[in-house]
Amino acid sequence: MAIFEGAGVAIVTPFREDGSVNYEKFAELLEDQIQGGTDAIIVCGTTGEASTLSHEEHLSVIKFCAETVNGRIPVIAGTGSNCTETAVYLSTEAEKYGVDGLLLVTPYYNKATQNGLFEHFKQVADSVKLPIILYNVPSRTGCNILPQTAVRLCNEVSNIVAIKEASGNISQIAKLASLAQGNIDIYSGNDDQIVPILSLGGKGVISVLSNVAPRQTHEICAKFFAGDVVGSAREQLRAIELCDALFCEVNPIPVKAALNLMGKEVGSLRRPLSDMEEANVEKLRIAMKNYGIL
């Protein structure tokens, strides 16, 4: 059984002016998502700026999220690292907080071999009982989980059950779905590829778009699962301009700008990320107006 089906939000981490985590605002964002129909919360992922949180902050944000959501929808915690020991530590601590699953990114910078990836993910998975979603995003990590490796992990490690595929390579994802024969749940990691991946048997999306359009992103998936493929595709295509704007600079720069344009006051970004260039802010503003959320 899938950890979740539909649109899970890769939620931002809001900061105060002094750079500290704004937990009051984070609670508001979580409530907005739940009321907006989001199917799951993915906390401390790329969009949540996990790479610039201290370990203490990282775990505190996960704990706060789990307590605030309180079982209303699934919470998946990002606990990956380029250091296997660190990933084990974060994962075992997060498990204590009652999250429903873990998201483990490929080890960045180290550029592990496929055998190294297998050993890394297996060691982390063996340290916990929670179901695990692998996170394949080679454009950010310099490391690609090949379909054969993902299938091997799911076949040989009982609690590795899914993959967030953000490679953008539909041919690779089709190969993965073919080799897996239903033994691995596939989530789109790109908002402009939700319907294509659902058509290959995908379970949903782990979404940046959901931060600003939770109901609409949920509906892309819900319509598809209800058999309204034409309606699902129509919603997917309607969102393309906004998806492009949300990735015209590196994520999560644009989505934080978008939330601030909506009056959500999520604050700025931690360095080395910088505020969005004004020309791109205008592009984003136009896309949001065209989509009807501004």
Beta bridge partners of 215: none
Helix or strand run (H / E) with residue 186? strand 185-188
Q: What is the pLDDT of residue 1?
A: 76
Q: Which residue has the tokens 């990691």?
A: 189
Query: How sure is the predictor about 81, in pLDDT bands with cuts at 50, 70 and 90?
Result: very high
Q: Is residue 287 within 8 Å of residue 242, measured between CB atoms? A: yes
For residue 289, the tally of other CB atoms under 10 A from its CB is 12
CA torsion 60→63→67→73, rounded to 10°? 130
Catalytic residues: 135, 164
User: pLDDT per residue over 100-111, tens digit each?
Assistant: 999 999 999 999
Assigned token pair, 98 = 């009652």
* pLDDT tens profile 154-203: 999 999 999 999 999 999 999 999 999 999 999 999 999 999 999 999 99
pLDDT of residue 150: 98
> Tokens 């978008």 identify what position?
258
Cα-based distances in Å from 128 to 104, 108, 120, 186: 12, 22, 13, 21
User: Assign residue 73 a region: left if phi > 0, alpha if psi is -120 to 50, beta otherwise?
Assistant: beta
Using a 10 angstrom Cβ sphere, with 0-12 exposed, 13-18 middle and 19 or more buried, the burial of residue 114 is middle
Residue pLDDT, tens place only, 198-229: 999 999 999 999 999 999 999 999 999 999 99
DSSP-assigned letter for residue 40: E
Long-range contacts of 220-225 (CB under 8 A, 24+ apart): 220/7, 220/194, 220/195, 221/5, 221/6, 221/7, 221/39, 221/194, 222/6, 224/195, 224/198, 225/5, 225/6, 225/198
* Single pTM value for the model: 0.97
